[in-house]
Chain A
Amino acid sequence: MTARQRTRHELNNLLGKIMGAAELALDRVRDPAARAELQLMIRCAEKAARLLDRDTAAKAHERA
């Protein structure tokens, strides 16, 4: 595994834990404003994962 792949793997692990923590917290939180913040965390983490994918694909394309 290259250094770049390792970094991507670690970032995806971290994003997964952010999403997981937010979803598990959503189960316990009833306050609408707090729920909205947790949902925003999930959306942002998902968007970050998509950007990471796109960046990795672009780098692979550049090398090809």
Chain B
Amino acid sequence: MLKAGSAEVLIVDDDVELLRQLAFAFVRAGHEVRCAVDGEKALAKFDAAPPDAVVIDLIMPVREGIETIMAMRARRPEAKILAISGGLRRSPETFLNMALRLGADAMLAKPFLPSEAVAAVRRLVGARADDAAA
């Protein structure tokens, strides 16, 4: 059982250095973390033990982020998903906006601080707790 305010977070990015930084920040913030380096491995971990939240990059080998988000959303409509990517941040036609339309709950454009990702997930998981209480 996780302590109050903490969440199980699945972080998905093919950049292992970024993955390590994010994992460190989430663990430091009191969350439990699992990592995957592509969409296929992420889906396997997602199916094995659904996390409270997913942080997922959009441009990855093997299985792209958007395709993975759609698969996760189909399996668990209540999943909380934060899409991250390094595309143009202010354009309406970005992969991130596409991810929002196709199933992500929130997006974060790279570059961002690890603390910003932690805060975004905290908002998502808090929103889920509010849904459950309603």
Please give the residue numbers on chain A whose beta carbons come within 8 Å of chain B beta carbons, in ascending order: 1, 5, 8-13, 15-21, 23-24, 27, 42, 45-46, 49, 53, 56-57, 60
Contact = CB atoms under 8 A, between A and B. Distances in A.
B59 A1 contact: yes
B64 to A, nearest CB: 11
Interface of B: 15, 17-18, 21-22, 24-25, 28, 59, 85-91, 109-115
Contacts of A8: 86-88
A23 B113 contact: yes
Contact of A17 (B17, B28, B87): B17
Given A23-B114, A24-B25, A24-B114, A17 B18 contact: yes
